[in-house]
Amino acid sequence: MAHRPLADPEDEDHDELIATLPCKPPTPLMRRMRLYRGGWFPEKWLPAIMAFRRRFEARDGDVVVASLPKCGTTWLKALAFATAARGTYPPPPVAGGDDEGNRRHPLLRLNPHECVPFLESVYSTMEEESKLDATPSPRLLSTHLPYSVLPASITDSSRCKIIYVCRQPKDMLISFWHFINRDKSRDVSSSYVWESVRECTYFGSPIWDHILGYWNVSKVKPDNVLILKYEDMKRNPTENVEKIAEFIGQPFSNSEKEASIVDNIVELCSFEKMKALGASMAGSQKVISSEFPNDSFFRKGAIGDWVNHVTPEMAESLDKLLSEKFDGSGFTFM
Ligand SMILES: Nc1ncnc2c1ncn2[C@@H]1O[C@H](COP(=O)(O)OS(=O)(=O)O)[C@@H](OP(=O)(O)O)[C@H]1O
């Protein structure tokens, strides 16, 4: 007798499935959270995440920028966009004037999040989903989701390339703490955020799990997953831009190198330039589901700001926790 294949639970109504997932009650920072495929997510986000898993169709040449929030996402989006689109939009020369040609570059008018959409947000509206389908290849996309939540269309085929950026968790968590507290009127209990600093978690999910999810795949599929580190990008921006270009199959030619195209990209996406632009656009349209002002993505852009906020004891305990969790994986922040 032929066996009937088991129904895929995600084919059922999202709401019914979500209601069965383990949950945590709301906190002052977060609405109700649900455990899904090994990670905690605000319940409200799950329909879009599930729709993304079900409906996204990867195409040859798609490049996905992946990260945990506050690890350099905005910067990497800018660098990857400027690199991939340099044929259509040459980066303005470092010493270039402020003429119309130089102002034509999208990154001088738009926040990088507007140039590279978050897939999990795209699937929250039919309009955004249709826009994504109509986007010509090659597409530059992004996600904050862990590898375990990505659709099979990305993980089981070799069509997509993923560039993952990670950052020393102490700096990432302090950056997040500032981001949450930037709007004093929200009156979010900072003790809740401090709990996540102490536990080294993001919305209840371990930070090391997110990093190791991508890291482990990069070891077996190096042509599909490239790991970058915020600290290394700060120290060697040129080298990292060259790495990005090679990884996406658009290496810089000798004539481009001679014309200082790499330097121009680095300058266009430098913290100082992007912060100044973000400040000048602060009052204009908000980005990422119209939620965040342009300037909220640029604060200090430094390595090691955690020393101003985290006690040496807390830092030591975080370092110990992380070295245990990364032990044997081959991953380090150096
Ligand atoms: N161009 C450039 N160069 C270096 N650093 C930069 C740049 N742009 C943003 N930043 C810093 O990155 C931090 C924000 O992280 P994300 O972009 O990942 O945030 S988000 O996920 O998009 O919300 C946040 O870090 P902190 O300054 O430590 O808070 C930003 O200031």
The per-residue pLDDT for range 23-39, each reduced to its tens digit, is: 998 877 778 999 999 99
Residue 151, amino acid: P
pLDDT digits (tens, 9 = 90+) for 221-274: 999 999 999 999 999 999 999 999 999 999 999 999 999 999 999 999 999 999
Q: Is 297 in the pocket of ligand 1 (CB under 6 A)?
A: yes
| The one catalytic residue among 144, 178, 210, 309 | 144
**Ligand 1 centre distance from Cα of residue 1 (Å):** 58
Largest interatomic CA distance in the chain: 76
Q: Tell me how far apart the alpha carbons of residues 212 and 225 are, in angstroms, rounded to a whole number.
A: 12
Q: What is the mean pLDDT of the chain?
A: 89
- The closest of 225, 209, 167, 203 to 46, measured between CA atoms, is 203
The residue with greater pLDDT, 211 or 157, is 211
Tens of pLDDT, residues 150-174? 999 999 987 899 999 999 999 999 9
- For range 287-307, the mean pLDDT: 86
Q: Is 292 in the pocket of ligand 1 (CB under 6 A)?
A: no
Domain 23-92+101-326 homologous superfamily, CATH: P-loop containing nucleotide triphosphate hydrolases (3.40.50.300)
pLDDT at 284: 61
Does the CB atom of residue 111 touch ligand 1 within 6 A? no
The CA distance from 13 to 19, in Å, is 10
Ligand 1 atom with the smallest distance to the CA of 270 is 1
The residues with which 143 forms a beta bridge, in sequence order, are: 66
- Annotated active-site residue 113? The verdict is no
Please give the distance, rounded to the nearest whole angstrom, from the Cα atom of residue 172 to the centre of ligand 1.
Answer: 9
Say which range, 22-36, 45-59, 113-127, 210-224, has the weakest mean pLDDT.
22-36
pLDDT at 197: 84
218: Cβ below 6 Å to ligand 1? Answer: no
Q: Quick check: CB of 269 below 6 Å from ligand 1?
A: yes
> What is the domain partition of the chain in residue ranges?
23-92+101-326
Among 225, 197, 195, smallest CA distance to 211 is for 225
280 CB neighbour count, 10 Å cutoff: 11
Compare 188 and 74 and report the one with higher pLDDT.
Answer: 74
Q: Is the peptide bond before 138 cis (omega within 30 degrees of 0)?
A: yes
pLDDT of amino acid 158: 78
**Substitution site in 297, 303, 305 for ligand 1 pocket (most atoms within 8 Å of beta carbon):** 297
**CB-ligand 1 contact for 74 (6 Å cutoff):** yes
Q: Tell whether ligand 1 has an atom less than 6 A from the beta carbon of residue 214.
A: no
Q: What is the per-residue pLDDT for 154? A: 95
Among 170, 229, 271, name the best residue to mutate to test ligand 1's pocket (greatest count of ligand atoms within 8 A of Cβ).
Answer: 271
- Which residues lie below 8 Å from residue 122, measured CB to CB, with a gap of 6+? 48, 52, 128, 129, 131, 132
Residues in the chain: 334
Query: Beta partners for 225?
Result: 162
Compute the distance between CA of residue 172 and CA of residue 288 in angstroms, rounded to an integer: 19
pLDDT attached to residue 1: 35
Q: Whole-prediction pTM value? A: 0.93
